[in-house]
Amino acid sequence: MTSRPEPTVLLGVSGSIAAYKALDLVSRLRKKGVAVIAVMTRSACELVGPASFETLSGNPVAVDLFPRSKPQQIEHLALADAADVLAIVPATANIIGKAAQGIADDLLSTVIMACRAPAVCAPAMNVNMWDNPAVAQNVRLLAARGWTMVGPAEGRLACGAEGRGRLAPVAEIEAAILRALGWNDDLAGVRVLVTAGRTEEPIDPVRFLSNRSSGRMGYALARAAALRGALVTLITGPSDVPAPEVGTLVRVRTAEEMLAAVKKHLPLNRALVMAAAVADYRPKNAAAGKIKKTGRTTTLELAENPDILKYASVHKKAGTVLVGFALETDALATNATKKLKAKGLDLVVANGASALGSDDNDAVLVRKGRKPVRCGRQSKQDLARTILDEVAGLVARSR
Ligand SMILES: Cc1cc2nc3c(=O)[nH]c(=O)nc-3n(C[C@H](O)[C@H](O)[C@H](O)COP(=O)(O)O)c2cc1C
């Protein structure tokens, strides 16, 4: 079981003239919902201001091995632990040499030494430095230890010389980092509609009926789909956690509002993943003013809410992939199979009530013409990836 709240790239920026290009990398990664913590060397700070990295990453930039604040934690170890991927962009001849030879004499080189995450390294330097046998040997050493080396590219260098030494295109570096994070591009350009969160059904202006859904599962799906290149529209009810950055974000409150948003966006999308916990019932007549105590038992009349999945299965364009969630307290696989058939879905993700509000999920995947697959207890991020593997396969088959 893993419980990774959000992928984090620890970005080491060293003192190359190409350091400013790492700012574009930070923006691209942030757009995909990847957290970035930048560690800059003193030389890098001479070439680009840490404030730019701080602003774009939304995180403080670490430079000092012995910071005056944070006495309660050892910074280089905390940083090394935070990394899902370590990326050195750009990498100078100096930092490559230190990493290869086990030298740890400043914050970045010490973090590199302490970090166990997969490493991606994008060198940038003058062509003669790149051709230097010491640099070549250090690069070979790092590659042999499993580091992914991206570039350098050939072309005109900042010093005016021609040859190999330019930082690789940022898109290539980004792709290598995403691969190291375990994401891929199998949903590139595919429009995916995700619903998430709970709905709130008003009883009066200050009270409502709802459920304990946190929004985490739907948000994990939306972010994971975006990381795989999907153009994501996220329709979300209220939730406990901040919504991820996606192409289009639509906020709704009630089941009826969610249905209206799905009606609008469904025709534009190749897949609908309906992870929202939509209330089955709403108070039939919401009171205009706050309901007062009467000293007597009172009855709340409930009306059935629209069935959004049923709507989608009747009105979808041919080839649209439909994924539903089933919250079941017993007979998960059996009940999910019934839902799959009754609503004409391609895939049902069945989970127990313990998934509500939790970071983990223990789901069963039920798909047309296949035996139910138990996923085992795993983080919602990991389950999101498993579900999207299925969605990508279904989308590819329906092309
Ligand atoms: C303007 C300028 C540009 C530089 N560009 C590079 C470069 O692209 N690649 C490189 O390996 N070193 C470059 N250097 C040299 C490094 O900054 C120097 O080796 C430094 O010690 C690297 O420290 P660091 O690896 O801790 O950042 C440059 C130096 C200056 C003054």
Tens digit of each residue's pLDDT (9 = 90 or more) over 297-334: 999 999 999 999 999 999 999 999 999 999 887 788 88
14 lines ligand 1 (CB under 6 A): yes
Compute the distance between CA of residue 53 and CA of residue 30 in angstroms, rounded to an integer.
12
110 Cβ inside 6 Å of ligand 1: no
Residue 70 has a pLDDT of 60
**What is the DSSP code string of 36-68?**
EEEEE-HHHHHHS-HHHHHHHHSSPPB--SS-S
Supply the pLDDT for residue 69: 66
* 365 CB near ligand 1 (under 6 Å): no
Looking at every residue in the chain, the average pLDDT score rounds to 90
d(CA 252, CA 250): 7
Task: Determine what percent of the chain is predicted with pLDDT higher than 90.
Answer: 68
E strand or H helix that includes residue 159 = none
Count of H-run helices and E-run strands, the chain = 14, 19
* CB 109 near ligand 1, within 6 Å: no
* Alpha carbons 198 and 234: distance in angstroms, whole number: 13
Q: Best substitution site from 47, 94, 113 to test ligand 1's pocket, by max atoms within 8 Å of Cβ? A: 94
Could you identify the atom of ligand 1 that is nearest to the CA of residue 44?
27
Look up residue 283 and give its two tokens. 């108070």
Q: Of 174, 214, 147, 188, which Cα lies nearest the Cα of 30?
A: 174
- Written as one string, the DSSP assignment of 168-232 is PPHHHHHHHHHHHHT---TTTT-EEEEEESB--EEEETTEEE-----SHHHHHHHHHHHHTT-EE
What the block records as the tokens of 64 is 């000092």
What is the Cα–Cα distance from 254 to 276, expressed in whole angstroms?
A: 11
Intrachain domains 8-181 and 191-290+297-397 with the same fold: yes
Residue 15 has pLDDT above 90, yes or no: yes
Enter the pTM of the model: 0.61
Domain ranges for the chain: 8-181, 191-290+297-397
Fold of the domain spanning 191-290+297-397? Rossmann fold (3.40.50)
The secondary structure of residue 303, as a DSSP letter, is: E
| The residue type at 346 | D
Q: Give CATH superfamily name and number for 8-181.
A: Flavin prenyltransferase-like (3.40.50.1950)
Take residue 236 and report the two structure tokens written for it.
């979300």
Backbone angles phi, psi at 342, to 5 degrees: -60, -35
pLDDT at 398: 83
**Who wins on pLDDT, 326 or 66?**
326
Identify the residue whose C-alpha is closest to ligand 1 atom 11: 92
